[in-house]
Amino acid sequence: MLGAGAAFEGRAGRAVDLSLLWPCALLFLASAGVTIAWCGSMDGGMPMPGGWTMSMAWMRMPGQSLPQAAASFMAMWVVMMAAMMLPSLASMLSSYRRGLRRYGASRLGAATALAGAGYFCAWTAFGAAVYPLGTLLASAEMRSAALARLVPLATGAVLLLAGAAQLTAWKARRLWDCRDPLACCGPAADGPRGAFRHGLRLGLHCCQCCAGLIAALLVAGVMDLRVMALVTAATTIERLAPWPLRVARATGWLLAAAGAVEIARAAWSLAG
């Protein structure tokens, strides 16, 4: 019979404490449910010149102020990142928790929660940087039909670059670090400040490692549940599978192929 301190070994040989698995699973289900409901309430978008549709994520609702729109986007972003990153984050938090246990630290639950909070603070900062850029681009595209027609071409270029990033040695190093907590974040740090900073370092590392996939998400459909599911699967499998480089390279070639197809379609449309 497994007790609360038992661990499950995945195919990649990384254990997840049962005491941590259930809270992460519940949080994942809650964030995924909210994300699905949120995307359903914002279904559709604005048809744009060039045959594409602008996501509602970059638009202000009627009567909504800019601060309100920004707060709404950030809330959506944090919930979405929780749904997308928790499947792979649980393993890293388990490694952190085991490190604390080896050093004889107490209050493991509070330290793990603070590390998780630090992790999502990094992703919150990522979203805060993305939002103004997205709204500025959206505003420019709505004012200029000529610029709007170039968006499919730019989307293809971003997908192509995101795919190329997946094939680099830099990406390979980031992935291997994800499987080695010491290389990624250093020794497990105790205390509230140490736990939060450990999670923050982990989040910053994750933002770098996922940059290409998140860029693909942003240009392909930040509120598209199908795209979100694909990116979630890619980020999770490449971290937990026993053959991470194969997964990253396969994802890279698929993204590059999608980008090339999008560029060809956009060029054909512009030429016609």
pLDDT digits (tens, 9 = 90+) for 32-61: 999 999 888 776 677 888 788 888 888 888
Q: What is the reported pLDDT for 191? A: 80
Cα Rg of the chain (Å, integer): 20
Q: pLDDT (tens digit, 9 = 90+) per residue, 136-146?
A: 999 999 899 99
Q: pLDDT (tens digit, 9 = 90+) per residue, 8-20?
A: 333 343 556 677 8
Average pLDDT over residues 79-87: 94
- State which amino acid sits at residue 256: A
Q: Where are the alpha helices (DSSP H) in 103-191?
A: 108-143, 145-149, 151-166, 169-178, 181-185
Q: What is the reported pLDDT for 183? A: 66
What length is written for the chain?
Answer: 272
Measured distance CA(244)–CA(271) in Å, rounded: 40
Measured distance CA(67)–CA(60) in Å, rounded: 10
Q: What is the reported pLDDT for 74? A: 95
- Mean of the per-residue pLDDT values for the chain? 85
Measured distance CA(168)–CA(172) in Å, rounded: 7
Q: Examine the pLDDT at 150 and tell me if it is beyond 60.
A: yes
- The confidence band for 5, taking pLDDT boundaries of 50, 70 and 90, is very low
Measured distance CA(234)–CA(247) in Å, rounded: 8
Average pLDDT over residues 261-270: 91
Q: What is the reported pLDDT for 52? A: 82
Q: What is the reported pLDDT for 182? A: 64
Of 9, 29, 210, 184, nearest to 92 by C-alpha is 184
